[in-house]
Amino acid sequence: MDIAKIIAKHDVFDDLKSTNKQDAIKEMIACLMTNHPEIDQEIAVDVLSKREELSSTALGKDVAIPHGKLPTLDTLVACVCRFKHGIDFCSFDGSQTFLFFVLLSPETPTGDHLKVVAWISRLFNNDLLRQQLRQAPDKDCMFEILSHFR
């Protein structure tokens, strides 16, 4: 799968400032809305927050994949966010989370949502990718790094 089919260069956000899980969810949704005005902020924050209550989407090893389905969407939207200072996102390994791949999908029953979540999970299991993304100087460099991994 090609990352460029899921996110555009303008969907990568760097150096977010939130210091806790709920504020991070709000900040990431606000970032996603800058390029996807069809997202209803209140609904999106609620969907991701409720998903996190079920179980954390933090995979460990610096990464989380907050995801959910929205009734207002016609197509999948996503973004990558980096918190340089890390967030306690309730990772199973107890580590801070720095890299987030936020995924919102339409409510229509397709397998695309789970296929993308599984692919992102495999992609971010790559130690070199995570290291390069953590060390990238800016969001443009982050996008270039992402575009070279499949």
Catalytic positions, written as ranges: 67
Strands (E), the chain: 12-13, 58-60, 63-64, 67-70, 77-87, 97-106
CA distance 46 to 106: 15
Residue 64, classed as helix, strand or coil, is: strand
Please choose, from the candidates 127, 111, 140, 13, the residue with its C-alpha nearest in 3D space to the C-alpha of residue 60: 127
Say how far apart CA 72 and CA 88 lie, in whole Å.
29
65, 125 in Cβ contact below 8 A? Answer: no
Q: CA distances (Å), 110 to each of 5, 77, 107, 114, 120, in order?
A: 17, 15, 8, 9, 17
The torsion angles phi and psi of 78, rounded to 5 degrees, stand at: -155, 160
